[in-house]
């Protein structure tokens, strides 16, 4: 199971703090024990010499009672456990002792750690005269040892707390900038906000990391902007290609491919539920205009016919130039068949205005119109276009009685 950096640091620093506190406490305890041993030994040696000085006369004159009185005074004053005087031949000359208390059971155990006994010659210049043996009580030493242990434990606790506080501070200094970087990275990835930047840090390595990260974000932001610009250019280029692929370059209307797509889609949507109509329109006299005035004037005529068709129809109607002088219109839906003759009359009326070309020439646009209705006259694109084409030529033949399909009018 993976751990976070904060958990790892917390565990490691806490372990280091506890081991440091234990080491400090252990060393302090050992040092305290050494100090206690030295002080106890020095104190007992001093008491032994003091007792020896007090009983020197009594031992010299073999006054055991005087010796016991002197030793009892020292015993009461110094809280010793026992005092005895041994002569040079090993006999006990005099001895006093305190009644055994609760500490007597611990004296045997403490004897190997703390000095509880000391001795001194009665006469330093004559060691064979006799020796004074002093045995201290364990109670004062136990209290002193408890005090030392309390100080040691307090030292351990204080050291542990201090080290843990310092470790926690170091932990925050390490984890805070990393956590800030982690949250920033996650938000940038989620929002794709490459304009955001990481804040600086007090630690030099983290500050350098933030600067490098910000530099990388700048590179990513610039790269993304370049990609977006390239994507926009590609979209514009694709849109242009689509217009060129499905639009007539001369008139801006839909071309044959686009018109067939529109009709196919309309047939699929209709599915026999409602009617629609396809108009087939021919610009009359285009060949004669091209022959007399050139293709530029003929193109001008085709553009004008396209514009007038667009103006006579609804915005939702698809108007297309199939090629040459042929146009087509998709009416979807066809609400009433009776509207078709009215619409054709509207288209013819839109063509009545002359088309001025220059100061000396104007053209009179004219169109022939035929239509086919789905589904009664065709159920697919080809059938509808073929039927509308036939109807257009029938209309054109019916209009042949007119003097001219297209007239040139000279103006002064």
Q: Does residue 325 have an active-site annotation? A: yes
Q: pLDDT value at position 343?
A: 94
- The pLDDT of residue 405: 44
| Joined tokens for residue 196 | 């955001």
Beta bridge pairs of residue 108: none
Averaged pLDDT of the chain: 83
Of 329, 400, 317, 316, residue with least CA distance to 370: 329
**Rounded to whole angstroms, how far apart are CA atoms 194 and 189?**
8
**The tokens 């110094």 sit on which residue?**
78
Catalytic residue among 248, 282, 325, 389: 325
- Amino acid 402: pLDDT: 55
CA 333/CA 270 separation, integer angstroms: 8
pLDDT of residue 373: 95
DSSP H or E stretch at residue 390: helix 381-398
Q: Is the dihedral of CA 100, 102, 103, 105 positive or negative?
A: positive
pLDDT at residue number 104: 53
Angle of CA points 358, 255, 341, to nearest 5°: 75
Note the pLDDT of residue 385.
95
Q: What is the pLDDT of residues 268-303, one digit of tens each?
A: 999 878 899 999 999 999 999 999 999 999 999 999
CATH code, 5-159: 3.30.450
**CA angle, 56 then 59 then 65, to 5°:** 110
pLDDT attached to residue 168:
80
Confidence (pLDDT) at 140:
66
Q: Nearest-CA neighbor of 121 among 13, 45, 203, 227?
A: 45
Averaged pLDDT in 10-residue chunks for the chain of 412 residues:
65 74 74 75 84 84 87 82 86 84 53 70 82 78 72 79 80 82 88 86 85 89 89 86 82 94 94 90 93 94 96 93 95 90 94 89 92 94 96 87 46 28
- Name the strands in the sheet holding 408-409, side by side, starting at the edge strand that comes first in the sequence: 355-358, 361-363, 408-409
Question: In whole angstroms, what is the distance from residue 124 CA to residue 130 CA?
Answer: 10
Contact 21, 154 (CB under 8 A): no
DSSP 228-271: HHHHHHHHHHHHHHHHHHHB-TTT-SB-HHHHHHHHHHHHHHHT
- At 322 the pLDDT is 94
CB-based contact 12:143 (threshold 8 Å): no
What is this structure's pTM? 0.47
Tokens 């067939």 correspond to 260
Q: Identify any residues that bridge with 94 across adjacent strands, giving them in sequence order.
A: 85
Task: Classify domain 256-409 at the CATH superfamily level.
Answer: Reverse transcriptase/Diguanylate cyclase domain (3.30.70.270)
pLDDT digits (tens, 9 = 90+) for 354-399: 999 888 889 999 999 999 999 999 999 999 999 999 999 998 888 7
Cβ atoms of 360 and 410 closer than 8 Å: yes
**Assigned token pair, 293:** 């005035």
Q: Are 174 and 201 in contact (CB under 8 A)?
A: no
């Amino acid at each position: 199971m993976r751990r976070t950096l904060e958990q790892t640091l917390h565990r490691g620093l806490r372990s280091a703090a506890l081991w440091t506190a234990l080491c400090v406490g252990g060393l302090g305890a050992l040092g305290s024990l050494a100090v206690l041993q030295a002080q106890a030994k020095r104190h007992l040696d001093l008491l032994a010499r003091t007792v020896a000085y007090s009983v020197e006369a009594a031992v010299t004159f073999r006054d055991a009672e005087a010796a016991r009185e002197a030793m009892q005074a020292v015993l009461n004053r110094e809280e010793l456990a026992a005092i005895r005087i041994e002569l040079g031949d090993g006999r006990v000359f005099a001895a006093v002792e305190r009644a055994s208390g609760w500490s007597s059971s611990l004296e045997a155990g403490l004897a190997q750690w703390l000095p509880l006994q000391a001795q001194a010659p009665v006469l330093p210049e004559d060691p064979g005269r006799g020796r004074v043996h002093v045995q201290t009580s364990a109670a004062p030493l136990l209290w002193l040892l408890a005090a030392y242990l309390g100080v040691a434990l307090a030292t351990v606790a204080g050291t542990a707390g201090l080290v843990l506080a310092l470790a926690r501070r170091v932990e925050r200094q390490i984890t805070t900038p990393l956590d800030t970087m982690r949250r920033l990275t996650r938000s940038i990835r989620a929002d794709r906000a490459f304009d955001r930047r990481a804040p600086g840090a007090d630690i030099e390595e983290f500050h350098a990391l933030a600067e490098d990260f910000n530099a990388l974000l700048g590179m990513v932001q610039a790269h993304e902007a370049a990609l977006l610009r390239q994507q926009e250019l590609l979209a514009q280029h694709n849109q242009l290609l689509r217009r060129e692929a499905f639009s007539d370059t001369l008139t801006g209307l839909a071309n044959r491919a686009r018109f067939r797509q529109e009709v196919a889609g309309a047939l699929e949507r209709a599915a026999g539920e409602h009617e629609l109509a396809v108009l087939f329109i021919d610009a009359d006299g285009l060949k004669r205009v091209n022959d007399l005035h050139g293709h530029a004037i003929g193109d001008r005529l085709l553009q004008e016919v396209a514009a007038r068709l667009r103006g006579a129809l609804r915005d939702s109607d698809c108007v297309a130039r199939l090629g040459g002088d042929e146009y087509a219109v998709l009416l979807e839906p066809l609400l009433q068949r009776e509207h078709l003759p009215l619409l054709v009359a509207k288209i013819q009326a839109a063509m009545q205005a002359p088309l001025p070309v220059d100061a000396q020439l104007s053209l009179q646009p004219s169109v022939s119109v035929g239509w086919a209705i789905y589904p009664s006259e065709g159920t697919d694109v080809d059938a509808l276009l073929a039927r509308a084409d036939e109807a257009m030529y029938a209309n054109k033949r019916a209009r042949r009685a007119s003097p001219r399909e297209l007239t040139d009018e000279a103006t002064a």
